[in-house]
Chains A and B, each alone.
Chain A
Amino acid sequence: MRLRLERRLDVPRPLIWLMPVVSVALALLAGALFLHLTGSDPGEVYGMMLRGAFGSRYGTTETFVKAIPLMLCGLGVGIAFRMLLWNIGAEGQLYMGAFAATWVCLSFPEGPAYLLVPAMMLAGLLAGGVWALLPAIPRAYLKTNEVITTLMLNYVAILWVSYLVHGPWRDPAGLNFPLTPPFPRSAWLPTFPGTRVHVGLVIAVVAAALLSVVLWRTRWGYEVRVIGESAQAARYAGMNVERNILLVMFLSGALAGLAGMCEVSGVIHRLQHQVSPGYGYSAIIVAWLARLNPWAILVVSILFGGLLVGGYAVQLAGIPAAVAYMLQGAILFFVLGGEFLTRYRIRLVVSPGPGPVVAAGAGGDGSPAGTAAPRSAGRGSKGGTREGGV
Chain B
Amino acid sequence: MDWLLAVSICQAAITAGTPILFAALGEILAERVGVLNLGVEGMMLVGAVSGFLVTVRTGSPWLGLLASLVAGGLMALIHAVLSVGLRANQVVSGLALTLFGTGLSGYLGKPLIGVPAPLTFRPVKVPGLGDMPFLGPVVFGHDYLVYISYLLVPLLWFFLYRTRPGLHMRSVGENPAAADAMGINVVWTRYIYTVAGGMLAGAGGAYLSLAYAPTWLENMTAGRGWIAVALVIFAGWNPLVALAGSYLFGGVDALGLRIQAVGTVVPSFFLSMLPYVFTILVLLVSARGKRRLAAPGALGLAYDREGH
Contact = CB atoms under 8 A, between A and B. Distances in A.
Interface of A: 38, 86, 88, 135, 138, 142-145, 147-149, 151-153, 155-156, 159-160, 162-163, 166-167, 281-282, 284-285, 288, 319-330, 332-333, 336-337, 339-340, 343, 357-358, 362, 367-369, 371-372, 375-376, 379, 382-387, 390
20 contacts: A144-B283, A147-B229, A152-B226, A155-B273, A156-B277, A159-B269, A162-B269, A281-B99, A284-B92, A319-B107, A320-B110, A321-B106, A323-B103, A325-B103, A326-B103, A329-B42, A329-B103, A330-B100, A333-B78, A383-B305
Contact of A336 (B89, B230, B292): B89
A344 B78 CA distance: 20
Contact of B267 (A156, A163, A325, A332): A163
A382 B187 contact: yes
Contacts of B85: 382
Interface string B249-289: 00000000000000000010110110011011001100110
Contacts of B290: none
B100 A326 contact: yes
Contact of A144 (B105, B284, B305): B284
B301 interface: no
B307 A326 contact: no
B63 interface: no
B107 A320 contact: yes
Given A155-B223, A371-B181, A333 B92 contact: no
A202 to B, nearest CB: 29
B91 A86 contact: yes
B277 A329 contact: no
Contact of B230 (A86, A135, A148, A387): A148
Given A147-B91, A322-B106, A339-B86, 20 more contacts: A38-B107, A148-B283, A149-B280, A152-B223, A152-B226, A159-B272, A319-B107, A322-B104, A325-B100, A328-B100, A333-B96, A336-B96, A337-B81, A368-B178, A375-B183, A383-B306, A384-B305, A386-B306, A390-B307, A390-B308
Given A148-B230, A340-B86, A329 B100 contact: yes
Interface string B53-64: 000000000000
A386 B181 CA distance: 16
Which of A167, A284, A328, A333 gathers the greatest number of chain B CB atoms within 10 Å? A333
A138 B267 contact: no
Which of A38, A143, A323, A362 gathers the greatest number of chain B CB atoms within 10 Å? A323
Closest 10 CB pairs of A and B: A329-B100, A322-B106, A325-B103, A326-B103, A163-B269, A332-B96, A336-B88, A340-B86, A320-B110, A142-B287
Please report whether the interface of chain B is mostly helix, strand, loop or mixed according to DSSP: helix
A367 B99 contact: no
Interface in B69-95: 78, 81-82, 85-89, 91-93, 95
B131 interface: no
Contacts of A337: 81-82, 86, 88
A357 B276 CA distance: 48
B290 to A, nearest CB: 13
A21 B66 CA distance: 38
A284 B279 contact: no
B93 A336 contact: yes
B180 A372 contact: yes
A322 B110 contact: yes
A336 B82 contact: yes
Contacts of B296: none
Contacts of A288: 92
Contacts of A166: 267, 269
Given A329-B97, A330-B100, A153 B107 contact: no
Contacts of B81: 337
B101 interface: yes
B104 A138 contact: no
B270 A163 contact: yes
B86 A336 contact: yes
B99 A340 contact: no
B307 A386 contact: yes
A76 B266 CA distance: 34
Contact of B99 (A143, A285, A375): A285
B289 to A, nearest CB: 11
B277 A382 contact: no
Contacts of B145: none
Nearest to A86: B91
Interface string B183-219: 1000100000000000000000000000000000010
A156 B107 contact: no
